[in-house]
Amino acid sequence: MYNILRAILFCFDPEWVHYFSMNSLKLFCKVPFAKKLLSSAFVVNDVRLEKKAFGLNFKNPVGLGAGFDKNARYLNELEALGFGFVEIGTVTPLAQAGNDKPRLFRLPKDKALINRMGFNNDGVEVIVQRLQKVKSRKEKLKIIIGGNIGKNKVTPNEDAWKDYEICFLKLHDYVDYFVVNVSSPNTPGLRELQEKDSLRKILTTLQTADSKFSNSKPILLKIAPDLNEAQIDDVINLALEIKLDGLVVSNTTIVRDNLQTTTAELEKIGVGGLSGKPAKERSTSIIQYINPKTNGQIPIIGSGGIFTGNDAKEKLTAGSSLVQVWTGFIYEGPGIVKNICLSLLK
Backbone angles phi, psi at 249, to 5 degrees: -125, 105
Q: Is 18 helix (H, G, I), strand (E, B) or coil?
A: helix
Query: Which of 316, 318, 308 is closest to 340 using CA atoms?
Result: 308
CA–centroid distance for 240 within its chain: 23
The span from the CA of 248 to the CA of 252, in Å, is: 11
Neighbours of 335 (CB within 10 A): 16
Q: Is 14 helix (H, G, I), strand (E, B) or coil?
A: helix
Query: Which of 343, 344, 346, 283 is closest to 319 using CA atoms?
Result: 283
Neighbours of 183 (CB within 10 A): 24
184 is catalytic: yes
Catalytic residue among 184, 275, 283, 320: 184
Neighbours of 143 (CB within 10 A): 21
Give all strands of the β-sheet with 104-107 in edge-to-edge order. 104-107, 112-115, 273-276
The span from the CA of 184 to the CA of 67, in Å, is: 11
* DSSP codes of every residue in 194-254: GSHHHHHHHHHHHHHHHHTSSS---EEEEE-TT--HHHHHHHHHHHHHHT--EEEE---B-
Residues identified as active-site: 184
